[in-house]
Each structure stands twice: as structure tokens, then as C-alpha cells.
Amino acid sequence: MSIDWSEVYRATYRDLVRFLHRKVWDAERAQDLAQETFVRALDQQPENPRAWLFTVAANLARDEARSVVRRRKHLALLRTEREAEPAVVAPSADEALERSERLEAVRRSLDALSERDRDVLLLWDAGLSYAEIAEQTGLALGAIGTTLARARRRLVEAYATLEEKHVARG
């Protein structure tokens, strides 16, 4: 079967980046990994491109997580460096801060989920069908809805808790 890879790319790239972004929490890195995933796909020519792409992307993100300590040190250094620089984008600073805080709250809320629940939720949010999620995660097709129900509820609760704490701090 001949696969139109440019069409797969067009239809999947954004979803893949969104999926990866919520795993590595770095937009540029997510795009880099998404492209690396497509590069590997072009090399391997899988028969089921979409499921294959998300499987490989998840593996790349997992490898990425292994170096998370090293990266955090790196980011901490860069953050220190940025703080030392004059604020040349002062008008949007509040907006950037707000976005950054929201992003951190989402990250922490997702951390409150089990790895399996998180994967299923992110795969669904990236646009995969229940059947594709089941194929990728090894869960039974009938278990996907239950997993999603649990994952969504925990995400909402964890996020609400963080919001309450934020409000309490003022």
C-alpha cells in the first residue's frame, strides 16, 4: 500500500506536536521530536502511520524524560540568565507570566494522573480514536472510555485544587 506521506504529515504534525508538548513541556523541543518522528517514519515506512507515529513519539518523549534532571539544571541556568537581562518586552510580561503559570498548573495536574491515564488522555486529545489508543497502549477497547473518564475527572480536580491554592496565596 502506497502512503501519501505529505498528507499524513499535513494531517498529523500539529497533533503530534501538541501530544509531545504535553510530555516534554518545551514547544521547540516538541517540534524537534515531531520532526524526528517523521524522519524515522520515512525511514521505516510503517503500514499504520498514525499509530506508529504516536508510538515512536511517546518513546522519544520518554527518552527525553530520562534526561530531565540535566535539562532542569540547564533551564534553571537559562532562567537565571534571563532574569539578569533587562525586560525588553515589558508590556507582555504579565501575559507571559500568566501563560507560564497556567502551563505549569496543567503540567502539575497531569502529573497527578497515573502514567497510563495520562497517556490515554493525551492520545485522545491529540486526535487518536479509541481503537488507535487501544492499539497503542494495549488496553482493551472497552476500557478506553473508563480510563478517559477517570483521567479527566482527576485532571479537573487537580487543576481546581491548584487554582484554589493560587487564589488563597493572592
Chain contacts with other proteins (rule: CB under 8 A): 2-3, 5-6, 9-10, 13-14, 17-18, 21-22, 25, 27-28, 30-33, 35-36, 38-39, 42-45, 60, 63-64, 70, 73-74, 77-78, 80-81, 84, 99, 102-103, 105-107, 109, 121-122, 124-125, 129-131, 141-153, 155-156, 159
| Euclidean distance between the first and the last CA atom of the chain, given in angstroms as a whole number | 59
Q: Which is nearer to other proteins, 14 or 87 (CB)?
A: 14
What cell numbers appear for 157 in the block? 480536580
Rounded distance between C-alpha atoms, residue 31 and residue 100, angstroms: 19
Rounded distance between C-alpha atoms, residue 92 and residue 83, angstroms: 15
Q: Which is nearer to other proteins, 87 or 153 (CB)?
A: 153
C-alpha distances (whole Å) from 60 to each of 57, 68, 85, 159 are 5, 13, 33, 27
For residue 99, the minimal CB distance to other proteins (Å) is 7
Q: Which is nearer to other proteins, 75 or 87 (CB)?
A: 75
User: Residue 71: which residues within 8 A CB-CB, separation 6 or more?
Assistant: none
Q: Which is nearer to other proteins, 33 or 58 (CB)?
A: 33
For residue 136, the minimal CB distance to other proteins (Å) is 15
For residue 60, the minimal CB distance to other proteins (Å) is 7
For residue 51, the minimal CB distance to other proteins (Å) is 15
Q: Which is nearer to other proteins, 61 or 90 (CB)?
A: 61
Q: DSSP string of 15-79?
A: HHHHHHHHHH--HHHHHHHHHHHHHHHHHH--SSHHHHHHHHHHHHHHHHHHTHHHHHHHHHHHH
Nearest-5° Cα angle at 158, 156 to 159: 65
